[in-house]
Structure 1
Amino acid sequence: MDTTTQQGTTHHQDTTGGDLLAAYRAHLSAGRASLGEMFGGFWETASSGATVRTSDGESFVNCAGYGVFILGGTHPHVTEAVVAQVRANPLATRLLLEPVSAAAAKALVDVCPPGLSKVHFVGSGTEATETAIKMARANGKRRLITTANGYHGKTLGSLSVTARSVYQEKFQPLLPDVTVVPYGDVDAMEAALRDGPPACVIVEPVQGEGGVVFPPDGYLAALGRLRTEHDAFLVIDEILTGLGRLGRWWGHDPEAVTPDVMLVGKGLSGGVVPVAAAVATPAAYAPFDKDPFLHTSTFSAAPVAAAAAKAAIEAIVMEDAVAKAAKLGAELKHRIAESAARTCPHLVAEVRGEGLLIGVEMRDPGLAGELVLELIDGRVLVNHSMNNSHVLRLTPPATITADELDHVATTFDRALSTLAGRFPASS
């Protein structure tokens, strides 16, 4: 039985039982439980491709997941590889050599830009950032330069370069010697590099959590030149933008730059097992090569995660996911932009993106929240941007079907029309 709140959000009967909600509130997060109730009280139970099934027997088209699902949910090639590895040898002794991680590392290097040939697997994107920071320090670069509204994770080291006070304040002091410069500003970066000892620079090709913000053309290439001129250590964070998300293998592909370290994650999981990586040049990786115990973790390069990573890369190639992301993303962005221009240009500031990373910027953050609720009512899932509350972010899979894409576009059109009626343009 459905009920509707005053805000218009449809709430569905909790078919999983109230005990689970109570357990969620008591043992996971009371705040997250409240958000879940606000978003309709749905429980996700299964996924396949762009479809997420819920406990009420219905389904959503998934354009959320923070970019993890470039292959959609439970892609058969990835799940079969993972199941086989679980049955054979899911975790390693950490003493003997283990073949699956070596094969996964080679598969990843084979699709990486030239010059990046050393792989350190970890369990999450924030761990990849931590690895890069430690690698920079091992190479004598202790000072850090990051960009305003950049997002690189929330563990202590990565949080130090995730330049937003709302996430940092409760955990101060963080790492010292961190400089924040405006994103896309080459002059500001050069000034920061001049103003101190050699530094580690960490930057995204596109700021995803910052609201799908693109730098000027040539920005990353300019940072590459500054790296050489100022003996810096350059880390490019491709955790969100890599592996086809932008309709190309890597976000920085158009720029003439090879970073010292490239961070990979999200889609590397194949949507099945958490895994990420720091991929480095041999020179940057040299301290880790010399001492294999310098930076370790019990579960890093676990065979089950390595199996997922290798299979994910294979599936991206088999599915032609990179080209599909470019084509499908262009179509979806165009249709949403057309709807916004026709129904409510007074509410939507811009629709922007590349490939299957699309941002819808509302003129007021409250409107962004209203749009999320309307989309949920239409059975479409999207994400907020953590560093920009005006922007909703879509990261649908490259395996989305024509019917599913049409559902997303028509649901946006209906939702924007509803908001236009609720919040008319002033005369």
Structure 2
Amino acid sequence: MQQAKVKELHTDYLNASLVTLLSLINFDTPFVSAQGVSVYDECGNEYLDFLGAYGALNLGHNHPHIMEALDKVQSLPNLLQCSINGLAAALAKNLSHLTPGNLKRSFFCNSGAEAVEGALKLARIVTGKPKFVYCNNSFHGKTFGALSVTGREKYQAPFRPLLNPSVGVPFGDLDSLQEQLRENDVAAFIVEPIQGEGGIIEPPKGYLTQAKKLCAHYDALLIADEVQTGFGRTGTFFACETENLQPDILCLAKSLGGGIMPMGAYITTDEIWRSAYGTMEKALLHTSTFGGNTTACAVALKTIELIQSQNLCQETQEKGSYLITHLNNLKKKYPLLKDVRGRGLMVGLEFQQPEKSSGKFSLRFTRNVVNKLAQEYMGSLVAGELFNKHRIITAYTLNNPNVIRIEPPLIVTYEQLDRFLNALESVLSSHTGFLSMVGSGTKSILAKMRN
């Protein structure tokens, strides 16, 4: 189909407002092929994907060994509930050896939100307690249970009442966490080792291990959400390894599917699992039709093998250090770049928020657009400049639109990192003030709106 027809069908039968939003910032380019870090439009132009599907493309697009793994299992039954799947068994064993602590028993599903849902249910049935504690500014998904422990009011408010009681505490604040745990009614505390959608925020050193001790003291479980941070993204196989955190439940997804298959999982200890589902009467209390299917497990097995055999965790540490060092150099030169933070190849760039513009515009509407963009979406303007002028794909974080995430595949080359750094410096150096950045973005948006 021609792109105009694709947009027409999306507008008529899918999310019309999303089509409008993506069109305004030129994020509606038709791409026709992808390999590794590169994607190509219908004119043959190469774009570098430094968004990486929010951490789902640790091995890049269409990795040839992942495609080979799919070919090897194409004749096997993919869904067959009257049997037990050998690939699922192998994957569960491998995960038990890779994950921290004494985590052993896995449940396979299709997404990160599903993994979180399963983890919350597991905590409820094991502890018999009703309450969940989560961190402000967190993101764990948009299904009802996952949304109930996602720390942004914008996403929660339209769907209340949510899962109750669920209470948010400041990320990194142990006193606030302990205050919620005191009454011994908390089933679990769920936390990201690094907040992704919150703007790539690391907790204070020691926070995670101390949080685990508090949870253990008050007989609550700690759920670590490594959906975005797992599988080498931060320079270790799992981000919680940095603090030697041993969670009670670990949620996984995104790159577990090798950038090809929808795949999620949670893994827990033998004791917790047996307490929840350890009898034939309880064995079917929580299930997933597509969870642990043959193709998804084959891809996950190959993904783990490739990350280990190619030493991608170590490479990610080195590339991340290189990237962050050069980004901090740009921060010193250009005031528009407010902060650089992150670990490995999970990096957040925060941009300054300007004061509201008092400049003269021919249309009051134009000034309002400028102020709106400047105050709330500076990150999207920078991302738009990188995309439209330099063919670099990035995006802002959901809970902080003034932060763009840098999450290229772990197989990114130093040459590609340099191309990104040069593009970013070009954007920063060509916009000496906020209004020039916002004005450039506004002109593009207004032109789109007039069309």
Where 1:87 maps in the other structure, the secondary structure is: coil
| Conserved 8 A contact 1:238-1:251 | yes
- What SS does the aligned partner of 1:128 have? helix
Corresponding residue of 2:370: none
Q: 1:76 to 1:172 in 2, by over 3 A?
A: same
The separation in 1 between residues aligned to 2:272 and 2:199, in whole angstroms, is: 31
1:336-378 C-alpha deviation (Å, 9 max, x unpaired): 2212321x21x22101111000000112233212201111021
Counterpart position of 2:35: 48
Distance in 2, matches of 1:187 and 1:391, equals: 28
**Correspondence for 1:349:** 338
Contact 2:88 / 2:293 at 8 angstroms: preserved in 1? yes
> Aligned with 1:214: secondary structure?
coil
Correspondence for 2:268 among 280, 284, 291: 280
Counterparts of 2:85 and 2:312, CA distance in 1? 29
Identify which of 80, 104, 107 aligns with 2:68: 80
Residues 218 and 255 of structure 1 are in contact (CA less than 8 Å); yes or no, is this contact kept in structure 2? Answer: yes
Give unpaired runs (5+ residues) of structure 1.
Answer: 1-14
Any idea what SS the aligned residue of 1:145 has? strand
When the two chains are superposed, the root-mean-square deviation of aligned CA atoms in Å is 1.6
Pick one of 427, 430, 445 that aligns with 1:418.
430
CA displacement at 1:195 relative to structure 2: 3.5
Normalising by the residue count of structure 2, what TM-score does the alignment of the two structures yield? 0.87
Q: Distance in 2 between matches of 1:230 and 1:369?
A: 42
1:371 to 354, 364, 382: 382
CA contact (8 A) 1:67 1:395 kept: yes
Q: Provide the TM-score with structure 1 as the length reference.
A: 0.92
In the alignment, is the contact (CA less than 8 A) between 1:81 and 1:311 conserved in 2?
yes
How far does residue 48 in structure 1 lie from its aligned partner after superposition? 1.0
Paired with 1:131 and 1:354, the residues of 2 have a C-alpha distance of 28
**Paired AA for residue 218 in structure 1:** G
Quote the offset at 1:383 in angstroms.
Answer: 2.0
1:16-31 correspondence to structure 2 within 5 Å: 16-31=2-17
Code of the aligned partner of 1:67: G
For residues 323 and 235 of structure 1, the distance between their equivalents in structure 2, rounded to whole angstroms, comes to 26
Distance (Å, rounded) in 1 between the aligned partners of 2:147 and 2:342: 26
- Superposed counterparts of 1:215-254, under 5 Å: 215-254=203-242
CA distance in 1, matches of 2:419, 2:347: 16
Question: Superposition pairs for residues 321-332 of structure 1, below 5 Å?
Answer: 321-332=312-323
For structure 2, the residue ranges without an aligned partner over 5 or more in a row are 354-375, 438-451
Query: Which residue does 2:326 correspond to in 1?
Result: 335
Deviation string, structure 1 residues 40-77 (Cα, Å, up to 9, x no partner): 23012222111112223212111111011111111122
> Across the two proteins, how many residue pairs are aligned to each other?
408
C-alpha contact 1:193 1:199 (8 A) present in aligned 2 = no
1:400 to 412, 415, 421: 412
Change (3 A) 1:58 1:197: same
**CA distance in structure 1 between the partners assigned to 2:434 and 2:130 by the alignment:** 52
SS in structure 2 of the partner of residue 141 of structure 1: coil
C-alpha distance after superposition, 1:242-285 (max 9, x if no partner)? 11111111111122432110011111111111101101011221
% of aligned pairs identical?
32
